[in-house]
């Protein structure tokens, strides 16, 4: 007995996920309730019998957490699997569905965190900040429109890719083409972030040596900028990266370290914001 989900139920399921995947977040069950809400319209359409409904819903009570935007593909895949199970396919059971969910949520979270949250959003924000120089709202509006269109239609695309292709949809993400795209996007991200740091981050030293007549003959900041404009800024960024990536310090510890560096720097006259009333 073949069963087919209606477009309406699929769209409702997608919207439930799009909005509700994290609204009821707790450390214990992160996206589990969002997942249950996404599956409910499908389960209600596929099963008429209360026992069958309960059996299907119980499948999705298992813990779930991933990068929710890219993770939409997993919800799409399970929509397809649930349809197959309702249609009487013997080889689809609780174990296949939950095995697949558990197996995919880790890798998808890894790719999603670094590709979407760690690269696409910063690139868009970088461009937006460029457009907002001088306090113009243009950049912020640009980000609101572009990001939300991208997120909504991207997630919708992933949902239906998952539903139509099943597990094959993930190959697109981790296959050769997916890898080439990710590699290229990370180059794009690297260059844009470089430009963002040079434009928006400014670490300057006030260290100056004076001769006997009281004239400045060595300004460290100018000397450093002659070597490489923005050298001090770049050094600080690389040091922070080194502490976090190689020394495994948490961001908060690095921030506290910077407070100490700033305090010592101010005391010895290396840093001086030069403020007065």
Partner 1 sequence: MEISWLQAILIGLFACLSSMPGMGGTSIGNYTLGRPLIGGLVCGVILGDIATGVLVGCAMQVVYIALVTPGGTVSADVRAVSYIGIPLAMVALNSYGLSPESVEGAALATSFGTMVGTLGTVLFYGTATINLVWQHAGWQAVEKRQYKKLYVVDMVLPWISHILCSFIPTIIMCKLGADVVELIKTTLPMDGIAMKTLFTVGSLLPCVGIAILLKQIVKAAADFVPFLFGFVLAASLGINLVSATVVASMFAIINYKIKMLSAQRVAGAAATIDDDEEDI
The footprint of partner 1 on residues 96-125 (CB under 8 A) is: 109, 113-114, 117-119, 121-123, 125
Q: Does 277 bind partner 1 (CB under 8 A)?
A: yes
Kindly tell me which residue out of 6, 199, 218, 223 binds partner 1, with binding defined by CB under 8 A. Answer: 199
Kindly tell me which residue out of 102, 191, 216, 218 binds partner 1, with binding defined by CB under 8 A. Answer: 191
Report the number of secondary-structure helices (H) and strands (E) in the chain. 12, 2
Of 16-75, binders to partner 1 (CB under 8 A) are 16, 18-30, 32-34, 36-37, 40, 43-44, 50, 53-54, 57-58, 61, 65, 68-69
Of the two residues 127 and 166, which places its CB atom closer to partner 1 in the complex?
Answer: 127
Cα–Cα–Cα angle for 149, 150, 152, nearest 5°?
Answer: 65
CA 252 to chain centre: 19
Cα–Cα–Cα angle for 62, 64, 10, nearest 5°?
Answer: 95
Side-chain half-sphere exposure of 117, counting CA atoms within 13 A: 13
Name the phi and psi angles at 204, rounded to 5: -130, 145
Of the two residues 22 and 216, which places its CB atom closer to partner 1 in the complex?
Answer: 22
- Three-state DSSP string of 239-266: HHHHHHHHCCCCHHHHHHHHHHHHHHHH
Q: Does 196 bind partner 1 (CB under 8 A)?
A: yes
| Residue written as token pair 């999603």 | 112
Q: Does 153 bind partner 1 (CB under 8 A)?
A: no
Q: How far is the CB of 226 from partner 1 (least distance, A)?
A: 11
Of the two residues 18 and 163, which places its CB atom closer to partner 1 in the complex?
Answer: 18
CA 159/CA 15 separation, integer angstroms:
10
Question: Are 60 and 36 contacting, i.e. CB atoms less than 8 angstroms apart?
Answer: yes
Q: Does 224 bind partner 1 (CB under 8 A)?
A: no
Of the two residues 131 and 220, which places its CB atom closer to partner 1 in the complex?
Answer: 131
Q: Does 140 bind partner 1 (CB under 8 A)?
A: yes
Q: Does 233 bind partner 1 (CB under 8 A)?
A: yes
Helix axes of 231-241 and 176-200: crossing angle, nearest 10 degrees: 130
String marking each residue 241-270 x if it binds partner 1 according to CB under 8 A? x-xxx----xxx-xx--xx-xxx-xxx---
Of the two residues 112 and 162, which places its CB atom closer to partner 1 in the complex?
Answer: 112
CA 177/CA 161 separation, integer angstroms:
16
Q: How far is the CB of 212 from partner 1 (least distance, A)?
A: 27
């Amino acid at each position: 007995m073949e069963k087919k989900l209606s477009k309406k139920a699929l769209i409702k399921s997608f919207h439930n996920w799009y909005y509700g995947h994290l609204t009821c977040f707790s450390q214990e069950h992160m996206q589990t309730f969002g997942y249950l809400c996404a599956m409910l319209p499908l389960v209600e359409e596929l099963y008429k019998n209360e026992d069958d409904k309960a059996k299907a819903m119980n499948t999705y009570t298992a813990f779930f957490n991933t990068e929710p935007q890219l993770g939409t593909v997993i919800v799409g895949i399970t929509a397809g699997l649930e349809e197959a199970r309702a249609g009487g396919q013997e080889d689809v059971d609780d174990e296949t569905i939950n095995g697949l969910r558990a197996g995919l949520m880790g890798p998808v979270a890894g790719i999603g965190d670094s590709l979407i949250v760690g690269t696409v959003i910063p690139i868009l924000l970088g461009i937006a900040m460029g457009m907002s120089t001088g306090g113009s709202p243009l950049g912020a509006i640009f980000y609101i429109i572009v990001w939300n269109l991208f997120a909504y239609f991207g997630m919708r695309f992933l949902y239906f890719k998952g539903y139509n292709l099943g597990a094959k949809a993930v190959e697109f993400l981790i296959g050769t083409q997916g890898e080439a795209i990710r590699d290229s996007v990370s180059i794009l991200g690297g260059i844009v972030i470089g430009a963002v740091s040079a434009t928006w981050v400014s670490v300057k030293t006030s260290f100056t040596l004076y001769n006997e007549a009281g004239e400045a003959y060595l300004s460290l900041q100018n000397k450093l900028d002659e070597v490489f404009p923005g050298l001090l800024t770049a050094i600080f960024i690389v040091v922070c990266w080194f502490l976090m990536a190689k020394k495994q310090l948490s961001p908060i510890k690095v921030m506290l370290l910077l407070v100490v560096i700033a305090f010592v720097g101010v005391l010895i006259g290396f840093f001086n914001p030069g403020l007065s009333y």
